[in-house]
């Protein structure tokens, strides 16, 4: 199937925090702020807006601690405060009918039984609209908060594969027709259809059965964002939704093709893997207005905020380094998310200052700036060039307004072109994503 005959799936990328992606995006004209970021009205407005635009899901990235080991991150509001999105989702599900919700939980830090139970419960509470973003975690600070040492990168993925075996077994331990609610014979659940799993692996063990009956989707939609060799092969095996990393069109095309081939090798339909790129487009009525908005957004943080934001992905404090140091000299010390550092060294080996400023809009691409028609052209071209399945929009400024602009201006333009559906196809996230 060629990309041009397919519609785009749309997601929204946030964290339950003041500035999810674009640094200091919480700084916004006070008179335009209808709800503060911690108020329910803020999140409800985001969710209902996205549903108006037929988005598949609101995706919450997350971790255990934000950037809270660092005073500058606390000061600038960079992923700190950071609240638990799994607690917010039921409220948002009650305000919407079709929008899906993807929450992040770590295979390194959450026990498999706990995960299997929470996700299956959320599938009931959202009436079949929950997804799980599977992460193995990269930040040692999270481990410090939980008193769990972060294992080495590839071992995290080995553990994650075994983790999936446990959670699949737990989800399957309660057969779909086990709960009979037979009033006459006083049988709630048929014990013959609920099974212990007695799983004992190298890293994980669980007796089962899971105490939660299957939700409307049977199991949550599985999402993943690995970029490494281990991460990509994990996605090809398990993920239904993949958040692919940034890169040139050529790199992205190769990434998508590689993922589809690997999924095929696993016996899966390669198009059952919905591959999305994350973008923070800036849309306005005129090109000049969009350019001015971009200048304002990207001009807000300074070098001190730029460098503080690099600390978690780098895994160490870079503030004492000379801003003119070439990135290739720094790369050997990077222990966190190496991917973006490696790509930049490969591309043009920028100075630290230049690289840090590129991260201002973490959604990486500020290429897509302009009128709804200009930006729709860019997304169409990108889908055609890469064969991806859709896009994840990250808010570049006050999310209720940023998403309203996208939904009321960009989405209708994409709908007119037949690229985005009008309305939903079913009640569950999986039906809307894969149906």
Q: Which of 243, 379, 391, 397 binds ligand FMN (CB under 6 A)?
A: 243
Query: What's the Cα-to-Cα distance from 386 to each of 104, 122, 251, 273, 400, rounded to whole Å?
Result: 26, 33, 9, 14, 30
CB of 434 vs ligand FMN, minimal distance in Å = 19
Task: Decide if residue 405 touches ligand FMN (CB under 6 A).
Answer: no
Kindly state the tokens that stand for 124: 């009931």
Q: Is the dihedral of CA 12, 16, 22, 27 positive or negative?
A: positive
**Nearer of residues 53 and 231 to ligand FMN, judged by Cβ:** 231
Give all strands (DSSP E) within 192-341, no chain letters: 199-200, 205-206, 221-224, 241-244, 274-279, 282-283
Task: Decide if residue 225 touches ligand FMN (CB under 6 A).
Answer: yes
Element (H, E) at 270: none
Distance CA 182, CA 190 (A): 9
Size of the site for ligand FMN (CB under 6 A): 20
Distance CA 55, CA 410 (A): 12
Show the site string, 164-203: x = touches ligand FMN by CB under 6 A, - = not. ----------------------------------------
Distance CA 62, CA 401 (A): 22
Query: What's the Cα-to-Cα distance from 270 to each of 85, 240, 258, rounded to whole Å?
Result: 30, 10, 10
Return the residues of window 276-295 that contact ligand FMN according to CB under 6 A: 278
Task: Decide if residue 245 touches ligand FMN (CB under 6 A).
Answer: yes
Task: Decide if residue 372 touches ligand FMN (CB under 6 A).
Answer: no
Q: Which of 215, 226, 315, 370 binds ligand FMN (CB under 6 A)?
A: 226
Phi/psi for 259 (5° steps) reads -60, -40
Task: Decide if residue 143 touches ligand FMN (CB under 6 A).
Answer: no
Task: Decide if residue 138 touches ligand FMN (CB under 6 A).
Answer: yes
Phi/psi for 390 (5° steps) reads 165, -165
CB of 388 vs ligand FMN, minimal distance in Å = 13
Return the residues of window 329-368 that contact ligand FMN according to CB under 6 A: 337, 339
**Nearer of residues 178 and 256 to ligand FMN, judged by Cβ:** 256
Question: Which is nearest to 67 in space by CA: 306, 303, 304, 311?
Answer: 311
Question: Which is nearest to 238 in space by CA: 272, 208, 276?
Answer: 272
Return the residues of window 103-122 that contact ligand FMN according to CB under 6 A: 104
Q: Which of 8, 17, 116, 135 binds ligand FMN (CB under 6 A)?
A: 135
Task: Decide if residue 228 touches ligand FMN (CB under 6 A).
Answer: yes
Span interacting with ligand FMN, options 88-96, 116-124, 176-184, 225-233, rule CB under 6 A: 225-233
**Nearer of residues 116 and 135 to ligand FMN, judged by Cβ:** 135
CB of 328 vs ligand FMN, minimal distance in Å = 19
Kindly state the tokens that stand for 427: 């009640």
Question: Which is nearest to 179 in space by CA: 187, 170, 189?
Answer: 189
Distance CA 336, CA 314 (A): 5
**Nearer of residues 197 and 241 to ligand FMN, judged by Cβ:** 241
Show the site string, 36-75: x = touches ligand FMN by CB under 6 A, - = not. -------------------------xxx------------
- Rule CB under 6 A: which residues touch ligand FMN? 61-63, 104, 133, 135-138, 225-228, 230-231, 243, 245, 278, 337, 339
């Amino acid at each position: 199937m060629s990309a041009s005959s397919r519609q785009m799936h749309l997601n929204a990328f946030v964290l339950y925090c003041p500035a999810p992606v674009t640094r200091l995006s919480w700084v916004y004209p006070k008179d335009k702020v209808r709800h503060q970021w911690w108020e329910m009205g803020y999140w409800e407005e985001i969710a209902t807006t996205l549903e108006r635009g037929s988005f598949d899901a609101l995706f919450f990235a997350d971790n255990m601690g934000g950037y809270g080991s660092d005073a500058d991150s606390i000061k600038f509001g960079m992923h700190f405060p950071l609240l638990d999105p799994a607690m917010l989702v039921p409220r948002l599900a009650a305000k919407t009918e079709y929008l899906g919700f993807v929450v992040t939980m770590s295979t390194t830090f959450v026990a498999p039984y706990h995960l299997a139970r929470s996700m299956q419960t959320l599938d009931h509470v959202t009436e079949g609209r929950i997804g799980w973003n599977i992460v193995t975690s990269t930040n040692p600070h999270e481990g410090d908060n939980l008193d769990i040492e972060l294992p080495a990168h590839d071992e995290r993925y080995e553990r994650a594969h075994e983790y999936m075996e446990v959670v699949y077994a737990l989800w399957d331990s309660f057969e779909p027709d086990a709960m009979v609610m037979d009033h006459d014979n006083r049988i709630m659940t048929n014990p013959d259809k609920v099974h212990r799993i007695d799983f004992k692996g190298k890293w994980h063990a669980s007796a089962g059965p899971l105490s939660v009956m299957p939700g409307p989707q049977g199991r949550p939609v599985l999402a993943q964002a690995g970029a490494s060799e281990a991460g990509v092969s994990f996605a090809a095996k398990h993920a239904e939704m993949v958040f692919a990393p940034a890169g040139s069109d050529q790199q992205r095309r190769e990434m998508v093709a590689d993922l589809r081939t690997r999924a095929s090798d696993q016996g899966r339909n390669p198009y059952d893997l919905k591959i999305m790129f994350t973008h923070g487009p800036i849309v306005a009525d005129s090109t000049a207005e969009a350019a001015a908005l971009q200048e304002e957004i990207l001009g807000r943080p300074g070098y001190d905020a730029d460098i503080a934001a690099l600390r978690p992905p780098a895994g160490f404090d870079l503030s004492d380094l000379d801003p003119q140091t070439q990135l290739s000299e720094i790369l050997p010390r990077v222990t966190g998310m190496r991917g973006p550092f490696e790509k930049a060294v490969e591309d043009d080996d920028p100075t630290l200052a230049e690289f840090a400023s590129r991260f201002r809009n973490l959604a990486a691409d500020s290429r897509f700036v302009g009128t709804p028609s200009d930006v729709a052209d860019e997304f169409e071209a990108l889908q055609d060039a890469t064969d991806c399945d859709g896009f994840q929009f990250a808010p570049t400024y006050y999310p209720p307004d940023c998403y309203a602009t996208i939904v009321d201006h960009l989405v209708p333009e994409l709908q007119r072109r037949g690229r985005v559906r009008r309305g939903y196809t079913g009640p569950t996230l999986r039906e809307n994503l894969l149906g």
